[in-house]
């Protein structure tokens, strides 16, 4: 089933304890589309870049089966730029620069061929633009998943709350869940955030896995312990792409199937962090994916004798 992905397509400059990059391709929607394209052959991108953005990456997305008809290229303008520096634990980072450039006045265009989409992934982006995309779809998708970050909580909280009201699943990290709810306990935070609109909440905890909340139900998925974590940038987006891609592939949005989707999302994220930027996602094979899903199975499998 088809999936629309909206979000930043950008340049990033990243610093980790293992190295530093110049401007490389990043952006929430880049990671989401690459991850989702492993599950659904009908991933449709809505985004904006400047004339400085490499055509080769756009062609690469197309190779992976991503429809880029909704990707606007603004002549004479610069792409969104983000720069971040990771702390030694690699689980937290500081944003060094956020230059909105083309994102500042992004007016999303939904091509006619996108209109029948059943799944919508609102990747990290100005909340008002995320809302505009929902409003420009003639039929409400079967499932709307939204990601956001502290940056928008700080500069556009009212818009953010309005957009959150319109979605089914919200994905944020633990720090952001605390910031949005004003609660330290993630269980209390989850109750408050669900009361803001979304029936499902995913709280990402980096190398400590992810939690899925729905009413009183909770599911936990660990992150795969890896020998090397090179660059966590995009892990959250890759997770979201795997999550919604799997749901779109199976067409089943029950809580039980969302648990499977979380495992697929976590598996995709485990690849993302192994190299800088989108590099590891670009040539991922089906065999590698299956091996990793099996590694997850082994990680959490145990035979508990009854006591």
Looking at the Cβ atoms of 2 and 14, the one nearer to ligand AMP is 14
CB atoms within 10 A of CB 285: 9
Shortest Cβ 76–ligand AMP spacing (Å): 21
Inter-residue contact 72 to 101 (CB < 8 Å): no
Looking at the Cβ atoms of 117 and 240, the one nearer to ligand AMP is 240
- SS3 state of residue 276: coil
Task: Characterize 181-198 residue by residue with b for buried, 16 or more Cβ atoms within 10 angstroms of its Cβ, and e for exposed.
Answer: bebeebeebbbebbebbb
Binding site for ligand AMP (CB under 6 A): 8, 10, 12, 26-28, 82, 98, 124-125, 149, 151, 233-237
Looking at the Cβ atoms of 82 and 213, the one nearer to ligand AMP is 82
Inter-residue contact 29 to 5 (CB < 8 Å): yes
- 61-66, long-range: CB within 8 Å, 24+ apart, which pairs? 61/30, 61/33, 61/34, 61/37, 64/33, 64/34, 64/37, 65/37, 65/41, 66/5, 66/33, 66/34, 66/37
Tokens standing for residue 78: 């610069």
Taking the C-alpha atoms of residue 43 and residue 129, their distance in angstroms, rounded to an integer, is: 19
Shortest Cβ 82–ligand AMP spacing (Å): 4
Tokens standing for residue 33: 């589309």
Shortest Cβ 88–ligand AMP spacing (Å): 17
Taking the C-alpha atoms of residue 186 and residue 286, their distance in angstroms, rounded to an integer, is: 35
Shortest Cβ 8–ligand AMP spacing (Å): 3
Looking at the Cβ atoms of 86 and 296, the one nearer to ligand AMP is 86
Shortest Cβ 9–ligand AMP spacing (Å): 8
Looking at the Cβ atoms of 10 and 263, the one nearer to ligand AMP is 10
Shortest Cβ 261–ligand AMP spacing (Å): 17
Taking the C-alpha atoms of residue 223 and residue 275, their distance in angstroms, rounded to an integer, is: 16
Looking at the Cβ atoms of 42 and 211, the one nearer to ligand AMP is 211
């Amino acid at each position: 089933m088809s999936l629309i992905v909206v979000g930043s397509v950008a340049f990033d400059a990243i610093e980790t304890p293992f190295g530093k990059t110049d401007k490389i391709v990043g952006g929430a929607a880049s990671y989401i589309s690459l991850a989702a394209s492993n599950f659904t052959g009908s991933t449709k991108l809505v985004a904006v870049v400047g004339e400085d953005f490499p055509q080769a990456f756009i062609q690469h997305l197309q190779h992976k089966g991503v429809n880029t008809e909704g990707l606007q290229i603004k002549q004479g303008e610069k792409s969104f730029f983000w720069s971040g520096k990771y702390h030694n634990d690699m689980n937290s980072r500081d944003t060094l620069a956020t230059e909105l450039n083309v994102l500042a006045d992004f007016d999303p265009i939904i091509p006619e061929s996108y209109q029948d989409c059943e799944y919508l992934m609102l990747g990290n982006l100005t909340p008002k633009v995320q809302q505009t995309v929902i409003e420009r779809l003639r039929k409400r998708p079967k499932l709307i998943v939204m990601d956001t970050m502290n940056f928008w909580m700080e500069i556009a909280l009212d818009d953010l709350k309005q957009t959150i009201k319109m979605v089914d699943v919200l994905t944020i990290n633990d720090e952001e869940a605390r910031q949005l709810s004003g609660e330290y306990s993630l269980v209390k935070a989850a109750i408050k955030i669900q009361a803001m609109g979304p029936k499902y909440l995913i709280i990402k905890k980096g190398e400590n896995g992810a939690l899925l909340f729905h009413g009183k139900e909770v599911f936990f998925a660990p992150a795969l312990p890896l020998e090397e974590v090179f660059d966590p940038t995009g892990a959250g987006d890759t997770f979201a792409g795997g999550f919604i891609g799997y749901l779109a592939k199976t067409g089943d949005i029950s809580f039980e199937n969302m648990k499977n989707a979380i495992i697929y999302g976590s598996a995709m994220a485990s690849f993302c962090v192994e190299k800088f930027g989108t590099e590891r996602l670009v040539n991922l094979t089906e065999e590698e994916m299956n091996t990793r899903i099996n590694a997850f199975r082994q990680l959490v499998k145990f035979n508990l004798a009854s006591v």
